[in-house]
């Protein structure tokens, strides 16, 4: 169940000093230039609302992971946000040291400050329960400087780190507009009024996807689960009968053959799983061809024409469609048609469409309308679809009990 959580509009925001956890974790090129600004743009409505109410707004985000490329400072992010907001977003090269504290104290109504990458603080790299993180140095040092905490970083909601779960236990907390639309989309997914419900699951994260299928099946959340990508190959093998040696080779090469018994148990449990009828393959001589699933003669790279038609037909009357993971190898334009066709079929239906960010979100582009929700979350969406409570939601639920006296949360 997704609890009711207080949102920005539930509090009198007049001139508060507000800490907002955003997710500005964006892809960067080798020179550190931002390649996609959509995650920054997503938070503009929340920040604007706070500024219009006269708040002094301090933003906190991570960028990348220590030791990996893309683990950098947030100065370029502040410049992008300045452009979107049309006002100067100050940046301080510090998270909780004297420079940050002094800037936070100086910040006036209607001003915005972005702190540096919160993962520069070692505590932020530790996964621990909210009660532990509420006592972290980061939280004890910064919380007294604020009147309100706003959580807007859905894409981090599966992490149990101090900036995500620590502040809600010690500060009055609400969710921002990004988080609100993500929570609403999750509610629709578990709401039986939206029926029939069709899930289209592909991509390369097979273990995560099997967990989702298990949850959907156990809780009867899906009327159809249309599989594509590697997970579909696992289900082909799990169904038995004649399985192409190419399929088995892909599964062996990717270390996925061990997933087959689990997929078989899912099928035997009665999960409504469909597999593709045909595939676009690359043959041994390098040519590209289409062949039926029962006679695959090459490495499968995308779903074929019959599958596109069948899946389109199965989506036609859906009231909710959830899509996660591409149907083919999108990096190569020859193998994009499957994903593109699934998206346009879903958009043609009258269903509310939830798209699991990343690659598919980019394919939707500007065609996303009122009835489409492109999630900002990767791991967070997977965890929610797999039926697990997100640590951020747990902490916010506790916070609502404590600061709003919301017993039904
Ligand atoms: C994401 O990109 O999924 C979020 O920003 C979380 O990043 P993480 O996987 O490094 O915690």
204 and 138 housed in the same domain: no
164 and 283 assigned to the same domain: no
**For ligand 1, is residue 357 a contact (CB within 6 Å)?**
no
Task: Let me know whether 154 and 110 are in one domain.
Answer: yes
Asked if residue 381 is part of any domain, the answer here is no
Task: Return the pLDDT at 166.
Answer: 98
CATH code of residue 221: 3.40.50.1260
| CA distance to 18, 50, 56, 59, 314, per residue, from 108 (Å) | 11, 13, 5, 14, 55
Over the stretch 47-60, which tens digit does the pLDDT of each residue have?
999 999 999 999 99
CB 183 within 8 A of CB 54: no
Residue found by looking up tokens 């500024």 in the block:
51
- Among 61, 159, 356, the mutation site with the greatest number of ligand 1 atoms within 8 A of its Cβ is 159
Give the span between the Cα atoms of 318 and 197, in whole angstroms: 6
For 247-256, write each residue's pLDDT tens digit. 999 999 999 9
Q: pLDDT per position in the chain (409 positions), as tens?
A: 789 999 999 999 999 999 999 999 998 998 889 998 999 999 999 999 999 999 999 999 999 999 998 999 999 999 999 999 999 999 999 999 999 999 999 999 999 999 999 999 999 999 999 999 999 999 999 999 999 999 999 999 999 999 999 999 999 999 999 999 999 999 988 888 889 999 999 988 899 899 999 999 998 899 999 999 999 999 999 998 888 999 999 999 999 999 999 999 999 999 999 999 999 999 999 999 999 999 999 999 999 999 999 999 999 999 999 999 999 999 899 999 999 999 999 999 999 999 986 778 888 876 667 889 999 988 899 899 888 899 999 999 999 999 999 986 5
User: What pLDDT was estimated at residue 409?
Assistant: 54
Q: What is the pLDDT, as a whole number, of residue 194?
A: 86
201 and 332 housed in the same domain = yes
- Tell whether ligand 1 has an atom less than 6 A from the beta carbon of residue 65: yes
Q: Specify if 185 maps to a domain.
A: no
* Same domain flag for 61 and 140: yes
Q: Is 127 in the pocket of ligand 1 (CB under 6 A)?
A: no
On whether both 95 and 197 belong to a single domain, the answer is no
Mean pLDDT over each residue of the chain, to the nearest integer:
94
Q: What is the 279 CA–ligand 1 centroid distance (Å)? A: 32
pTM: 0.90
In a shared domain, residues 120 and 237: no
Q: How far is the CA of 64 from the centre of ligand 1 (A)?
A: 7
Same structural domain for residues 164 and 66? Answer: yes
CA of 330 to the centre of ligand 1 (A): 21
Number of folded domains in the chain? 2
Determine the distance separating the centroid of ligand 1 and the alpha carbon of 197, expressed in angstroms.
Answer: 28
23 close to ligand 1 (CB < 6 Angstrom): yes
Is any ligand 1 atom within 6 A of the Cβ of residue 361? no
379 lines ligand 1 (CB under 6 A): yes
Do 245 and 293 lie in one domain? The reply is yes
CA atoms in the 13 A half-sphere facing the CB of 10? 17
CA of 155, closest atom in ligand 1: 4
The angle formed by the CA atoms of residues 81, 86 and 91, to the nearest 5 degrees, is: 45
Say yes or no: 290 and 350 in one domain.
yes
What angle separates helix 229-239 from helix 206-218, to the nearest 10 degrees? 70
- Residue 3 lies inside a defined structural domain of this protein: no
């Amino acid at each position: 169940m997704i609890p009711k959580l207080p949102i920005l509009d539930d509090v009198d925001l007049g001139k508060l000093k507000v800490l907002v956890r955003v997710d500005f974790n964006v892809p960067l090129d080798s020179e550190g230039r931002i390649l996609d600004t959509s995650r920054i743009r997503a938070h503009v409505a929340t920040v604007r609302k706070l500024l219009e109410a006269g708040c002094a707004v301090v933003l906190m985000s991570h960028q990348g992971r220590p030791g990996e490329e893309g683990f950098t400072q947030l100065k370029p992010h502040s410049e992008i946000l300045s452009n979107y907001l049309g006002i100067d977003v100050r940046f301080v090269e510090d998270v909780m040291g004297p420079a940050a504290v002094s800037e936070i104290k100086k910040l006036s109504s209607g001003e915005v400050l972005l702190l540096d990458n919160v993962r520069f603080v070692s505590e932020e790299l530790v996964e621990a329960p909210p009660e532990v993180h509420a006592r972290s140095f980061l939280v004890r040092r910064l919380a007294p400087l604020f009147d309100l905490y706003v959580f807007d970083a859905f894409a981090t909601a599966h992490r149990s780190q101090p900036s995500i779960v620590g502040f809600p236990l010690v500060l009055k907390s609400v969710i921002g507009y990004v988080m609100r639309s993500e929570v609403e989309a999750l509610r629709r997914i578990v709401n039986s009024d939206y029926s029939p419900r069709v899930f289209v699951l592909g991509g390369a994260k097979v273990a995560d996807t099997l967990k989702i299928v298990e949850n959907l099946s156990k809780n009867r959340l899906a009327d159809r689960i249309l599989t594509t990508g590697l997970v579909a190959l696992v289900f082909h093998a799990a169904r038995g009968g004649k399985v192409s040696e190419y399929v088995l080779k892909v599964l062996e090469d990717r270390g996925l053959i061990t997933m087959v018994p689990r997929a078989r148990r899912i099928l035997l449990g009665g999960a409504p799983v469909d597999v593709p009828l045909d595939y676009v393959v690359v043959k041994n001589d390098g040519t590209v061809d289409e062949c039926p699933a029962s006679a695959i003669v090459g490495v499968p790279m995308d779903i074929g024409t019959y599958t596109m038609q069948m899946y389109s037909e199965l989506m036609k009357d859906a009231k909710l469609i959830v899509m996660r993971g591409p149907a083919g190898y999108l990096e190569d334009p020859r193998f994009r048609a499957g994903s593109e066709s699934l998206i346009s079929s879903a958009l043609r239906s009258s269903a509310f469409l939830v798209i699991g960010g990343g690659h598919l979100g980019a394919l939707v582009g500007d065609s996303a309308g009122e009835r489409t929700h492109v999630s900002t979350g990767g791991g967070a969406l997977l965890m929610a679809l797999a039926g697990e409570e997100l640590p951020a939601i747990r902490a916010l639920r506790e916070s609502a009990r404590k600061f709003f006296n919301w017993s039904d949360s």
